[in-house]
């Protein structure tokens, strides 16, 4: 969730694109596992920026900032990297001056990966729903991975404006990383068997995406990034004041709802604590 300008200021990454059409295979490979990792928490005094109709003005809120690891027989994908690990070293977390938000991180992402016997260098693929700082706080640790990114998101992320706004340091090392640019509107099939696919959902940022994961036992799960940052966002189709395009956001909401219906997917609003808590507690995976 991002209710403050600092939290929203760290914008998008736009990128390189090669389109990979998902396989028609409908059954998930038995080895697909989804790990939900707690990569930070936020509390805020005013959620007003989360709705451009003014309905959230003065409403306090809190949310989780997750990372997701998908393990497949062909490798691992890290989806979003949470807050910077440096916040875990701050005894009282981060309280940006002049803002009503308080960020905390109880455990570093590298420590969580270590519980699975993994280090950043072991992660084959890295991707992000978008490039805001709460999703890319540890992106530079994965510069040795192959970066899967929407072409428009990457272009925006390394634009002159992004450099001028000071957003790039969160993910600067990715500029030279091996990159797959996702062009066009077709889903990108990460492992080539239809089990893990990246879908376009622009509006929050120019190249915002969502991730569909098909597990053998638990069915499909749809990780929706910041398409709906609050539970009220989905219930009332609320659009944050800082979104790149209101029109694209509303269109993406319709498209992702249709995707969820077509695939019978469980929809996860990534910053909604209840949705995160309903997933198996790390290090137990959803299979």
Read off the pLDDT of residues 138-191 as tens digits, 9 standing for 90 and up: 999 999 999 999 999 999 999 988 888 788 999 999 999 999 999 999 999 999
For tokens 């736009």, the residue is: 14
Closest by CA position to 233, among listed 212, 213, 209, 249: 249
DSSP-derived 3-state class of residue 86: helix
Please identify every stretch of the chain with a pLDDT value under 50, giving residue numbers as ranges.
Answer: 1-29
Tally of domains within the chain: 1
Give the per-residue pLDDT at 18. 37
Give the per-residue pLDDT at 30. 59
DSSP-derived 3-state class of residue 254: helix
The answer to whether position 161 is within a domain reads yes
The answer to whether position 140 is within a domain reads yes
Do the beta carbons of residue 50 and residue 56 sit within 8 Å?
A: yes
The answer to whether position 284 is within a domain reads no
Do the beta carbons of residue 280 and residue 38 sit within 8 Å?
A: no
Give the per-residue pLDDT at 10. 35
Q: Which residues contact 57 (CB under 8 A, 6 or more apart)?
A: 46, 47, 48, 51
Give the per-residue pLDDT at 66. 98
**Rounded Cα–Cα distance for residues 152 and 155 (Å):** 5
The answer to whether position 121 is within a domain reads yes
The answer to whether position 183 is within a domain reads yes
**Rounded Cα–Cα distance for residues 186 and 4 (Å):** 33
The answer to whether position 286 is within a domain reads no
Q: Which domain holds residue 30?
A: 5-277
Closest by CA position to 132, among listed 102, 105, 162: 162
The answer to whether position 136 is within a domain reads yes
DSSP state at residue 110: H
CATH number at residue 181: 3.60.15.10
Give the per-residue pLDDT at 133. 93
């Amino acid at each position: 969730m991002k209710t403050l300008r600092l939290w929203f200021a760290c914008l998008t990454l736009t990128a390189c694109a090669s389109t990979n059409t998902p396989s028609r295979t409908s059954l998930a490979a038995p080895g697909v596992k989804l790990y939900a990792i707690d990569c930070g928490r936020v509390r805020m005094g005013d959620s007003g920026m989360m709705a451009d109709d003014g309905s959230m003005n003065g409403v306090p809120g809190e949310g989780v900032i997750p990372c997701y690891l998908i393990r497949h027989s062909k490798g691992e994908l890290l989806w979003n990297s949470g807050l910077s690990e440096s916040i875990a070293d701050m005894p009282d977390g981060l309280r940006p001056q002049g803002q009503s938000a308080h960020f905390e991180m109880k455990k570093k992402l590298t420590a969580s990966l270590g519980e699975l016997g993994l280090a950043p260098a072991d992660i084959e693929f890295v991707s992000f729903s978008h490039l805001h700082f709460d999703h890319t706080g540890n992106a530079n640790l994965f510069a040795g991975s192959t970066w899967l990114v929407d072409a428009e998101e990457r272009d925006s992320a390394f634009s002159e404006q992004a450099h001028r706004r000071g957003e790039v340091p969160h993910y600067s090392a990715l500029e030279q990383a091996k990159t797959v640019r996702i062009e066009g509107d077709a889903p990108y099939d990460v492992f080539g068997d239809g089990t893990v696919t990246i879908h376009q959902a622009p509006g929050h940022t120019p190249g915002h995406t969502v991730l569909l994961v098909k597990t053998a036992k638990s069915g499909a799960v749809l990780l929706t990034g910041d398409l709906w940052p609050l539970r009220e966002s989905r219930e009332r189709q609320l659009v944050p004041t800082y979104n790149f395009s209101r029109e694209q956001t509303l269109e993406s909401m319709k498209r992702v709802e249709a995707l969820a219906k077509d695939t019978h997917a469980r929809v996860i609003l990534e910053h909604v604590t209840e949705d995160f808590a309903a997933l198996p507690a790390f290090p137990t995976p959803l299979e």
